[in-house]
């Protein structure tokens, strides 16, 4: 009688762990599937398409993304207009941004609107009205950042944090009264400070010898940023799957031990 009871309790225990093991493998499959979709996905923003795909009519600087993009032709025309989202690049009175500097901001905007490769760096945001998701810490190749800063170093601005430190009035940004217009060189000092601070850490300055994104590339050679996204996912997958598989191993060994004891 006693031994029968014990066996039943043991069996419940075994069943419990087998179900736990099964559930954990199901969940790890789901998360791997999610990660695969991340390689090719669009941010949930105002202008972004739901899914990336070919777009024949991308405008000028955004055309490298033609084969696979999150932006439409219309969005890319506006991206070249210099006031998308009401953002005023000429926020310092009587200091119009130079064309060579603006060109890099347009390229940055093309990347933001069109890139299907930032999935692994996406974060939810609640504080911004123009988008529900943003990217954080995307590795930007040092040379792309250096060229951008070099083109802008003699232009003027009044803050190093363009995401959060402007005053927004009537749908456009302006310098806070207490701020002072100075050159990019004075405000940011160097290229890495510039790229990392200007959009509040959307970019991370990254040596070209490491996996990093290009905002400037020749689309006819394919999009080099696809591999960077794949690398990032592989990196976080191997960390996750190592944890998952060791938990699964324990969950399988434990019932087996119990069975053998019984
Ligand atoms: C074109 O893009 C602009 C700027 O993003 C947007 O306000 C407008 O609604 C778009 N028009 C169409 C027809 O999609
Ligand atoms: C905002 O726009 C309104 C209407 O065009 C105008 O009367 C007002 O002065 C503007 N406010 C500022 C601070 O520029
Ligand atoms: C820029 O300056 C910061 C300190 O303000 C330093 O940590 C960083 O390494 C510098 N970056 C480059 C590219 O020289
Ligand atoms: C931008 O400004 C906000 C608020 O002042 C601050 O929390 C954030 O750390 C700043 N980001 C950078 C890159 O300085």
Q: Residues 76, 20: one domain?
A: no
Same domain? 118 vs 16: no
Q: What is the rounded CA–CA span in Å between residue 199 and residue 196? A: 7
Same-domain check for residues 164 and 116: yes
Beta-strand runs (E) in the chain: 122-124, 133-135, 138-141, 156-157, 167-169, 172-174, 182-183, 203-206
What pLDDT, on a 0 to 100 scale, did the predictor assign at position 252? 55
Contact 252, 140 (CB under 8 A): no
CA of 178 to the centre of ligand 2 (A): 20
Instruction: Give ∠ CA 68-35-195 in degrees, rounded to 5.
Output: 65
Identify whether residues 170 and 259 lie together within a single domain.
Answer: no
Is beta strand 203-206 parallel, antiparallel or unpaired with respect to 138-141?
parallel
**Count of structural domains within the chain:** 2
Decide: 184 and 100 in contact? Cβ < 8 Å. no
- Say how far apart CA 191 and CA 150 lie, in whole Å: 8
CA distance linking residue 210 with residue 220, whole number of Å: 23
For ligand 2, say whether the CB of 221 is within 6 Å of any of its atoms: no
- Domain co-membership, 1 together with 63: no
133 and 8 inside one domain: no
C-beta 75 within 6 A of ligand 1: yes
Whether residue 8 is contained in a domain is answered as yes
Tell whether ligand 2 has an atom less than 6 A from the beta carbon of residue 177. Answer: no
Query: So what's the pLDDT on residue 68?
Result: 95
With a 6 A CB cut-off, is 170 part of the ligand 2 pocket?
A: yes
Residues 90 and 157 in one domain: yes
Domain range spanning residue 81? 48-223
Q: What pLDDT shows up at residue 14?
A: 56
CA 170–ligand 2 middle distance (angstroms):
6
Measured in Å, residue 139 CA sits from the centre of ligand 3 at 16
Is any ligand 2 atom within 6 A of the Cβ of residue 169?
yes
d(CA 69, CA 168): 30
Pocket of ligand 3 (CB under 6 A): 189-193
> Residues 88, 218: one domain?
yes
Atom 6 (ligand 1) nearest CA: 75
pLDDT of residue 11: 61
Calculate how far, in angstroms, residue 16's C-alpha sits from the geometric centre of ligand 3: 55
201 CB near ligand 4 (under 6 Å): yes
| Alpha carbon of 99 to ligand 3 centroid (Å) | 26
The beta strands (E) that lie in 30-165 are given as: 122-124, 133-135, 138-141, 156-157
Ligand 2 centre to CA of 257 (Å) is: 76
30 shares a domain with 68? no
Q: For residue 67, is it within any domain?
A: yes
Q: Hey, whose CA ends up nearest to atom 13 of ligand 1?
A: 74
From ligand 4's centre to the CA of 81, what distance in Å? Answer: 27
- Contact 236/34 with Cβ under 8 angstroms? no
- Count CA within 13 A, CB hemisphere, residue 5: 2
Q: Looking at the structure, tell me whether residues 189 and 255 fall in a common domain.
A: no
Low-confidence stretches of the chain (pLDDT beneath 50): 1, 26, 29-30, 32-33, 36
Query: What is the Cα–Cα distance from 262 to 7, expressed in whole angstroms?
Result: 7
Q: Is residue 229 part of a domain?
A: no
Beta carbons within 8 Å of 239's beta carbon, 6+ residues apart: none
Q: Are residues 34 and 55 part of one domain?
A: no
């Amino acid at each position: 009688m006693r031994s029968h009871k014990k066996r039943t309790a043991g069996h419940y225990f075994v069943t419990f762990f087998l179900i736990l093991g099964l559930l954990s493998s199901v969940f790890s499959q789901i998360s791997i599937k999610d990660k695969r979709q991340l390689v090719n996905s669009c941010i949930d923003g105002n202008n972004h398409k739901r899914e990336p795909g070919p777009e024949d009519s991308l405008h000028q600087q955004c055309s490298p993304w033609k084969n696979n993009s999150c932006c439409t032709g219309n969005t890319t025309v506006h991206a070249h207009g210099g006031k998308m989202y009401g953002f005023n690049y000429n926020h310092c009175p009587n200091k119009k941004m130079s064309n060579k500097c603006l060109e890099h901001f347009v390229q940055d905007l093309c990347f933001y609107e069109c890139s299907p490769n930032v999935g692994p760096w996406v974060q939810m945001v609640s504080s911004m009205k123009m988008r529900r998701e943003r990217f954080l810490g995307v590795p930007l190749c040092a040379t792309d950042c250096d060229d951008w800063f070099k083109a802008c170093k003699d232009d003027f601005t009044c803050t190093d944090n363009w995401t959060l430190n402007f005053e927004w009035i009537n749908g456009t940004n302006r310098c806070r009264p207490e701020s002072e217009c100075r050159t990019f060189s004075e405000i940011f000092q160097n290229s890495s400070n510039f790229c990392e601070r200007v959009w509040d850490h959307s970019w991370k300055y990254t040596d070209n010898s490491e996996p990093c994104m290009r905002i400037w590339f020749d689309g006819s050679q394919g999009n080099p940023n696809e591999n960077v996204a794949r690398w990032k996912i592989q990196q976080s997958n191997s960390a996750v799957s190592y944890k998952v598989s060791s938990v699964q191993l324990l969950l399988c060994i434990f019932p087996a031990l119990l069975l053998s004891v019984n």
